[in-house]
Structure formats: C-alpha cells, structure tokens
Chain A
C-alpha cells in the first residue's frame, strides 16, 4: 500500500472539505445550467436535474430486468455468496420506494442502510453514491417519485449462509466503506474534479473496473486496473499503455457516447448497457471531464497483450497446431458461416460498428472471457449515433461450436493459443 488513492482521498478529505463542497456545488451548477434543463419552476427543475443525475448514476441498468419496467428491479446478480435481486425503486407504496421519505433515501444512498435500518448489500454501490451531494441525492429521489409506480415484487435474495445475515455486512462495511461526501484533490483542476465526481460518485466506474480485495471491497491500490464482473471482463482503463494510454481524447469520447470507435473498439455487455442507459445521455462537457479524470489515473499493468505484442507474437508464432487442426477447421467453418459476413473473413470488418478484430481487447485477451460471453449474449446497444446489434448465439450455437469459434478467433486474430473447451463455454453459459 504505497500509494493508495483511497487513502489519499481520505487524507485529503479531512483538510479540503470546504473546497470540495465548492466543487460539488460547481458540478451541480454546471449540471443545472444545461439548456435542456432550463425548466421554469423550481421543483420541476429539481426533477429534471434528478433525471439527468439518475442517468449519470445509471440506476436504470441495474434496476430494470429484461422485459421489465424501468426501475422496477428484479435483476438477478449472481455473486459467490448467492443471488441478489435489485429492488423496485419506482414509487410503489408496497413493493417500491413510494413510502420512503427523503431521509430514508439519503440514508440508503449515503450510508447503505435500508428503510428498516438493515445494512444493504454493497452490490448497490452506496460505497460510491455516498460521495454524492445531499442535493443531488434528493434530486434523484424527486425524479424517481415522478415515475409511474409499478406493483412488482422482485424475488427474495437467495444468499448462502452466512451471507444471508445482513448483520455481517457491518463488518464488511467497517473494512470497505467510508461514508462521506465527495472531496476533490489538490492536484485536480475543476474539470478533473468534475470528472471524478461523475465517474466516482455517480458513474461508479470502479465497481466494474477496479479489482476486488479478499473481502470483495474495491482494491483501490489497483484502481481501474480491470476486473471481472457478472461474467464480463471490465478492462484496464488506467492512463498507461495497457489501459487507455493509446486512445485519443476523441476516441475516448466517441467510445463513451456511441459505444464504439470504428475499426478499433466496441463495447458489449455491461459497458454497452452503461452506454445505452447512461453515457450517451450525458452532455459533451461532462464526458470531457470524465476523460480528463481517466487521464490522470495512475497506470496499471494488464494481462491482455497490446496490439503490438499480438502482431509480434503472430509473426514469430511457431507452435505446432496440428493437434488442434480439427477444431481450427471447424472454427473456420463456423466463422465463415456465422461471423464473416459482418466481421469479414480476415476479421477486418467493413468498418462502422463492426470493428477490426485485432484492435479488440476482447479478442486479444487469452482468458477469452468476453469473447465467449459476447458470443453467448450478443450486443444490443444504443449509442448516440446508431443502434448496434449482434445476435446472441446462446441458443443458435452449441457449447462445442462456441468453443471452436473462440479458439479460432483467438488464434487467428488475437494471437493467443488458448484452448477453450465446451465445458468452459458451459461454465460461462450458466
């Protein structure tokens, strides 16, 4: 723990509370200043701001199940300790938060404590939301209260012993949770601070991109170094070459708002959800602020080879693949039949959303997590510019077939020689 950002924050927080409050207000002002929300009456103003903040905090992704009503909850989160279901946050009196007072909502967002005084499971990212200003939390609450109440009861959590005892969370919180509002750091200018507020307090990027400690807290020593969540790998987004170091600002902006950079990067899974549900709705200056913030996250190494490394590996590849000739043959066949029309036989893609394979960390990652995952789940993403769709092959291809494809793609475009089996796919499928 030489340089723990988190500790730095904490230390800084003690001495800069005044400044940070100012930044908090500044962020707020910038947000409220937007012409789109220049609504006349004050309460409506709060609601409109709440709507924007709800977008920025991406409440909808986790609180809306497939085919379900927005914010009605019921999304299952498989954790190693059991299954959790997101709650109904529509203003329904019985199943939702209709009966919640502002104070209840604040306590949940800031302290991770539910209306009955129970500790909340930190899959609900109050560890980040705690940094939100009081006014912002109340704006979100005000917005949610304007939604249509949905009388839907999400399933009960299915946690295994002893994790079904919420009281244990007290212990977890003691280690992993610092209650307190956002504070800026001295080296940050206003833009970076605002980016930090958006990325941390609202966007909770770290929940996916930061690895976890043994107790499932965020390992902020390795902030944004990449981690696997919900079966998807969130890649390294630190400022070094293993992260976003080689991306231009334009590329980052484009990626965040459209979900892809033609012929380079494309988002899928939870990141596609974040683009669809949250980022594409944010204003340009807010996206720019987030980019600025990412730029100063200390670099971390990654286990995904860079494009240059892959090219290098491919040029000096020697390993005899005859033992896997059969799978490769099948993989090629499947690739031609299922993938090549969009991605082209050489993986270069016709451009647009169908990107060059080599550029994808998904393809270069020897663990193949997202490669298999994206074949299983497909992509259904709405960015600012266009809707992007890749079919889910979950039920169109068998486990063997998906494994063969992953092997073929990994070998031909990703430069690695991973040997995925049907069982690997089956394990991801479930």
Chain B
C-alpha cells in the first residue's frame, strides 16, 4: 500500500494504492465511483474508459501509480442526474441504452471525440468508438446520441452553460 494523490473529477484525492493496482479498482472501490465499469480487464471493451488529461484511457489496465499528476475525469465528472452533461442528456433523449453497462465508457470515448472534433460524422464516431463494445446492440442509438450531443454542444458551447464540469 502506498499513498498517492490523484486529481479526480476536479478534486485532489489522497488514496491508498496497492503496487500495480489498476486505476479502475481505485476509482470503484476506493472512491465508490460507479461510472467506470469492469468489463474485461484487458483493454478490449472500453467499459472502464475514463479521461486522463482529456484523453480516453482504459482504467482497467493502467496502474494508478503511473498516473500521478494527471487529471482524471470519470462519468460522474461530466454531469449529474440533475444537471447532466449534453452527452448524458443526449443519451437520455435518444434512449440510447439497453442494459447501459457499456454506456459510461461510450460517453467517455465520445467526450474525447467531441473535444477534438465537434462535428463528427457517423464514420468518425465508428473510429473513435472502435475500442468500445456493446453486447446489447445499442450501437445505432449511441451514434445518434453522440451526434445529437454534438449539435447541442455546438449550439450551446459548454463554457457558457452553468455548472458543467
């Protein structure tokens, strides 16, 4: 066990971390975050995706200790139930979920995409989400939700909205 300070969703958190322990278990068990999910532990499915300095990262495989000093954002860091991020709202509006287990990872990958490319085509989305699997077959709605979010975010840039992370 070693102490480690990580910046998670805007707050510096001091955490106990076991040697080699991947970030995912620190987030889920240490901080009680439910957004990042365990799916494969092999970097194949994307369920555990979080952002590290704005870039998508598979938390299931990266040792937490190697992330000291980086800014980590999880699903919880985007928006809340009362004040969802446009991406979260778009997933609700498009009813883009079946079991929804894959959705947090999808949203995080989409966030990284929209940050780089505010107007993605279907194809851009397919590329950005190439590392995210969905077993329920919700893909069509996920693509629609991301496009919807892109257009709301273009209309109402995120900085001008209140209280968003």
Residues of A within 8 A of B (CB): 329-330, 333-334, 336-338, 340-342, 345, 350, 389, 391, 396-397, 401, 404
Question: Which chain A residues border B117 with CB–CB below 8 Å?
Answer: 329
Closest 7 pairs between A and B when the two form their complex, measured CB to CB: A341-B58, A337-B131, A338-B131, A330-B127, A341-B43, A333-B128, A391-B44
A337 touches B62 (CB 8 A): no
B42 — nearest CB in chain A belongs to which residue?
Answer: A391
A341 lies within 8 A of B57 (CB)? yes
A–B complex contacts, Cβ < 8 Å, 12 sampled: A333-B116, A333-B128, A336-B55, A337-B109, A337-B128, A338-B131, A340-B57, A341-B57, A341-B59, A342-B43, A391-B44, A396-B44
> With a CB–CB cut-off of 8 A, which chain B residues contact A397?
130
**Is the C-beta of B107 less than 8 angstroms from some C-beta in chain A?**
no
Bound form: Cα–Cα A389–B44 in Å: 11
The verdict on B129 contacting chain A, using a C-beta distance below 8 Å, is: yes
A345 to B127, CA, bound (A): 17
Could you mark each residue 109-139 of chain B with 1 if its beta carbon is under 8 Å from any beta carbon of chain A, else 0? 1001100110000001001111110000000
A244 to chain B, nearest CB (A): 30
Smallest CB gap from B49: residue in A:
A337
Q: Which of B43, B46, B60 is the most central at the interface, judged by chain A CB atoms within 10 Å of its CB?
A: B43
Instruction: Please indicate the chain B residues that have their CB under 8 angstroms from the CB of A404 in the complex.
Output: 127
- With the chains together, A401 CA to B131 CA distance in Å? 11
Query: Are B132 and A337 in contact (CB-based, < 8 A)?
Result: yes
**Are A337 and B56 also in contact (CB < 8 A) when A396-B130, A397-B130, A401-B130 are?**
yes
B160 to chain A, nearest CB (A): 27
Q: Is the interface of A mostly helix, strand, loop or mixed?
A: helix
Give Cα distance in the complex from A340 to B43, angstroms: 9
Given contact pairs A391-B43, A391-B44, A396-B44, A334 touches B127 in the complex (Cβ within 8 A): yes
CB within 8 Å for A389 and B42 given contacts A330-B127, A334-B127: yes
- Determine whether the beta carbon of B44 is less than 8 Å from that of A337: no
B42–A401 contact, CB under 8 A? no
Complex Cα spacing A404 to B126, Å: 13
The answer, yes or no, to whether B63 is at the interface (CB within 8 Å) is yes
Closest Cβ–Cβ distance, residue A216 to chain B (whole Å):
38
Say whether A333 contacts B57, CB under 8 Å.
no
| A342 engages B56 (CB within 8 Å) | no
Cα(A333)–Cα(B54), bound, Å = 12
Known contacts: A333-B116, A336-B112, A389-B42. The answer to whether A341 contacts B62 by CB under 8 A is yes
> Which residues of chain A are within 8 angstroms of B124 by Cβ–Cβ distance?
330, 333
Interface-centre pick from B63, B113, B127, B128 (highest chain A CB count, 10 A): B127
Q: A342 to B42, alpha carbons, bound, how many Å?
A: 9
Per the bound structure, the CA–CA distance linking A342 and B124 in Å amounts to 23
Contact partners of A337 in chain B: CB under 8 A: 46, 56, 109, 128-132
Query: Would you call B61 an interface residue if the criterion is a C-beta within 8 Å of the partner chain's C-beta atoms?
Result: yes
CA distance A45 to B134 in the complex (A): 55
A401 near B127: Cβ-Cβ < 8 Å: yes
Distance in angstroms from B1 CB to nearest chain A CB is 19
